[in-house]
Structure 1
Amino acid sequence: MKTDQLLTRRGALLAGAAAVAAAGTAGVLGAVTGTGPARPAAPAPAPGPRARGALRPSAYRLRPLTGYGPPAAAPVRTPVRQAPLLEMPGRGRTMVLTFDDGPDPRYTPDILDTLAEYRVRAMFFVCGEMAVENRELLARMADDGHVVGNHTWSHPLLTRLGRREIRAEMERTGEVIDRAVGEPPRWFRAPYGAWNRAAFQLGAELGMEPLAWTVDTLDWTTPGAGTIVERVEDGAAPGVVVLSHDAGGDRSQSVRALRSYLPSLLDSGYHLTVPGRRPA
């Protein structure tokens, strides 16, 4: 073969290689800039067993995740007691003052003033027939941080009533308290301390705990303010619940006695407060 023929064939091969390289470069640039020549689409893969139909969203997949939130707690039922609570558990020298039968506009405001002066909270077990005429006093009790409890509507002896009558006594008073203070009562006390099974069951159904007392001042007998003071101070002890009255008769002795024994108890290191929602 002649030399000029070899040179011609080699030049043709080099020219072809250069053309292929240029076409590849143009294809790459076209893919980036969108201006190059269209390339044939790759063949679609054969459909597998999971790609034969369009995926449909399921209710499970669309449901929001709840694992990061707090678990939903079941509502706590008020236990049905077989006996009323007589004292309140607490650390140190803690006592609870309670006042029954009110509110009475002649005596309750003075008691509230004394408690406010010493920044002490107490419990008031009110009768519905008294509360309905003095709702502003119930509102003040709640505003001052006191607990407003249920003492029935008309202060009857519950052991002589049927279940329907007991429920009516509790419900009517509970409704008055709810409207006056913004929440239903969480505690109740049977008049005269006369409890029965129906009272415990119905009270629990209405979300209330039964509370009695440890120290009875017997102030309803009007023994004198000094005697009331002695009974409170002699009975003072951790967990004690003191029973006094702010209505149901002349309660001026109860008002004067509170002004005496309240600062005395505080000076003795007692913490006078109200119980929590769920006692042990």
Structure 2
Amino acid sequence: MRVWTVPLAMMLGFGGAAVPPVDPPIDPARLVRELTAIQPEWPEPERPVPPPARDVDCAKAKCVALTFDDGPGEHTGDLLDTLAEHRARATFFVVGGVVARGGGGDLRRMVAEGHELGNHSWSHAQLTALSRSGIAAELDRTQKIVKRETGVRMVFMRPPYGATDGRVAEASRSRGLSQILWNVDTMDWRDRNSGVVTRRVAAAAPGSIVLLHDIHRSTVDAVPEVLKDLAAEGYTFVTLSELYGRELTPGKRYMKR
């Protein structure tokens, strides 16, 4: 598991790939103004009804939590089809701005099929590079749009790039959000190869949290084999709430069960 400090995280681009510095540089004050601008009040869609809770005890069963970041994307629907076919559940850390552009249809399907939603910021900004008001806006705006689209108040967040600090922890704590990181990194953003992704997921152990991205076709193509291989080893695919089986501490970082 790697939690990058600010200097390294600032070298990373969306999805984790190394990119040169942004030119022109981001104006934090302008970002805050844009994030906190008054938005029109759209009518709330029909709320999805989640399925009943499952009777799974990850203190005894071999559980693994597959988590998908940066979506929903154009391949998310195919991923949901695969998860449904295998009766597997997962957690999706969604980007608020992506939801706003694409609508909440995929999110409502996730909730209806028993998956869990987490806050992955509004614009995939590196939160440690923002002011306190900027961090707040990134989290609050995403909380708001997901609540409007699904009726769900998210209780987990994942800082983009894994970049966190005391200010991010405090903003998360005050909003009732636990920070969820990971202990199995598939590096699927870098190596767009389904076979490589499948082999890296094989490193999972009972209680693991696996980092994946549903915005990559190669990752979505890897999931059927991932589910097949781990199921053959007796694993159950669970949401984060199922993995821990208890309420987590807001603001605290978690990497595995």
Same fold by TM-score greater than 0.5: yes
Amino acid in structure 1 at the alignment position of 2:150:
V
Task: Please point out which of 225, 229, 254 is paired with 1:264.
Answer: 229
Amino acid in structure 2 at the alignment position of 1:92:
A
CA contact (8 A) 1:95 1:271 kept: yes
The question of 1:145 aligning with 2:110 is answered: no
Amino acid in structure 2 at the alignment position of 1:170:
L
For 2:231 and 2:104, locate their aligned partners in 1 and report how far apart those are by CA, in whole Å.
30
Amino acid in structure 2 at the alignment position of 1:274:
T
The question of 1:166 aligning with 2:131 is answered: no
For 1:98 and 1:230, locate their aligned partners in 2 and report how far apart those are by CA, in whole Å.
16
CA 1:212–1:195: 2 relative to 1, 3 Å: same
Match of 1:107 in 2: 75
For 1:210 and 1:89, locate their aligned partners in 2 and report how far apart those are by CA, in whole Å.
20
CA contact (8 A) 1:98 1:242 kept: yes
Match of 1:85 in 2: none
1:260, CA displacement in angstroms? 0.8
CA 1:168–1:136: 2 relative to 1, 3 Å: same
Which of the pair has more CA radius of gyration? 1
CA contact (8 A) 1:213 1:240 kept: yes
CA 1:195–1:89: 2 relative to 1, 3 Å: farther
CA contact (8 A) 1:139 1:180 kept: yes
CA contact (8 A) 1:157 1:194 kept: yes
With 266-275 and 164-173 compared, the bigger mean Cα shift is at 266-275
Q: Residue 177 of structure 1 aligns to a residue in which SS?
A: helix
Match of 1:246 in 2: 214
CA contact (8 A) 1:89 1:279 kept: no
For 1:206 and 1:134, locate their aligned partners in 2 and report how far apart those are by CA, in whole Å.
24
The question of 1:279 aligning with 2:248 is answered: yes
The question of 1:128 aligning with 2:96 is answered: yes
Match of 2:4 in 1: none
Q: Residue 95 of structure 1 aligns to a residue in which SS?
A: strand
1:222, CA displacement in angstroms? 3.1
Task: Please point out which of 126, 141, 155 is paired with 1:157.
Answer: 126
Task: Please point out which of 152, 169, 172 is paired with 1:200.
Answer: 169
CA 1:255–1:99: 2 relative to 1, 3 Å: same
The question of 1:255 aligning with 2:223 is answered: no
CA 1:90–1:199: 2 relative to 1, 3 Å: farther
The question of 1:228 aligning with 2:197 is answered: yes
> After TM superposition, which residue ranges in structure 1, 4 or more long, deviate above 2 angstroms?
88-92
Q: Residue 256 of structure 1 aligns to a residue in which SS?
A: helix
Q: Residue 219 of structure 1 aligns to a residue in which SS?
A: coil
With 197-206 and 116-125 compared, the bigger mean Cα shift is at 197-206
Q: Residue 98 of structure 1 aligns to a residue in which SS?
A: strand
Task: Please point out which of 179, 186, 189 is paired with 2:155.
Answer: 186
For 1:89 and 1:279, locate their aligned partners in 2 and report how far apart those are by CA, in whole Å.
15
Amino acid in structure 2 at the alignment position of 1:117:
E
For 1:114 and 1:89, locate their aligned partners in 2 and report how far apart those are by CA, in whole Å.
23
CA 1:227–1:157: 2 relative to 1, 3 Å: same
CA contact (8 A) 2:192 2:219 kept: no
* Gapped regions of structure 1 (runs ≥ 5): 1-87
Amino acid in structure 1 at the alignment position of 2:84:
A
Amino acid in structure 1 at the alignment position of 2:231:
L
* Gapped regions of structure 2 (runs ≥ 5): 1-56, 250-257
CA contact (8 A) 1:103 1:134 kept: no
